[in-house]
Amino acid sequence: MNKSNIPTPEELQSVLWYSSKTGKLYWRKRSPDMFDNSQLNAEKSCLGWNKKYSGKEAFKVYNQDGYKRGKVFNMTFSSHRVCWAIYFNQWPEQQIDHINGIRDDNRIENLRDVSQAVNVKNSRKRKDNTSGHTGVSWLKNNKKWAATININGRRKYVGFFYKKEEAIAARKKAAKKYSYTNRHGL
């Protein structure tokens, strides 16, 4: 492995294969030299491992946020980052965004390497949202609806409105202006 102990894409490809059409990772067959034992034990370990895992789906465990994760070379990785590394033969430089918002859909056509600012523009509505619309909230002290949008990591007020529908319309207009995706806030 390389000096930072993160496996290279080539090392990942030696133990995993990726189906870009289904978005799934599978374990490759291993050879005895991949096991850290004496020759006899390595062969036995290899046979047992191949019987149990070879050709079977890898990275099937979900984390609390709904992303698939798994262990390879005694390190835990998100499956979408491993899929990217194997397919493009390099680790992603930024964040991997699931274009359709489905966190376990790791088909290559659904993945893109983007900045956090771009990724946020494709995020869904927060679970703690009480207005039913992203970027729209009731200000109790002012007795008005506020429309806000995040631009470059900073909250920008779009306006304050007496009617919720006006705040929603203003927020949607701002989302379009700042290139938020159609699925943002759904």
- Band of residue 185 on the pLDDT scale cut at 50, 70, 90: low
Pairing relationship of beta strands 68-72 and 111-114 according to DSSP bridges: unpaired
- What Å distances lie between residue 74 and 5, 77, 134, 149, 153, CA to CA? 10, 10, 40, 41, 35
Q: Domain end: 61, 95, 114, which one?
A: 114
Domain match, 50 and 96 both: yes
Contact 94, 116 (CB under 8 A): yes
The pLDDT score that the predictor gives to residue 138 is 94
Q: Domain end: 114, 134, 149, which one?
A: 114
Query: Does the residue 125 lie in any domain?
Result: yes
Domain match, 18 and 108 both: yes
pLDDT tens by residue, 4-28: 689 999 999 999 999 999 999 999 9
pLDDT tens by residue, 73-92: 999 999 999 999 999 999 99
Domain match, 71 and 158 both: no
Region 134-152: what's the mean pLDDT?
Answer: 92
CATH code, domain with 40: 3.90.75.20
Query: Does the residue 184 lie in any domain?
Result: no
Domain match, 110 and 167 both: no
Domain match, 22 and 85 both: yes
Query: Does the residue 22 lie in any domain?
Result: yes
Contact 57, 22 (CB under 8 A): no
Domains of the chain: total: 2
- What Å distances lie between residue 11 and 1, 17, 50, 57, 76, CA to CA? 7, 11, 18, 18, 15
Query: Does the residue 95 lie in any domain?
Result: yes
Contact 35, 49 (CB under 8 A): yes
Contact 148, 137 (CB under 8 A): yes
3-state secondary structure of 112: strand
The pLDDT score that the predictor gives to residue 39 is 67
- Identify which has the larger pLDDT, 184 or 114: 114
Domain match, 77 and 150 both: no
Place of tokens 């493009």: 88
Q: Beta partners for 146?
A: 137, 160
CATH code, domain with 134: 3.30.730.10
Burial class (CB in 10 A: 0-12, 13-18, 19+), 104: middle
Q: Does the structure show a pLDDT above 90 at 152? A: no
Please give the Cα distance from 110 to 112 (Å, whole number): 7
Query: Does the residue 140 lie in any domain?
Result: yes
Domain hosting residue 135, numbered range: 119-177
Domain match, 15 and 101 both: yes
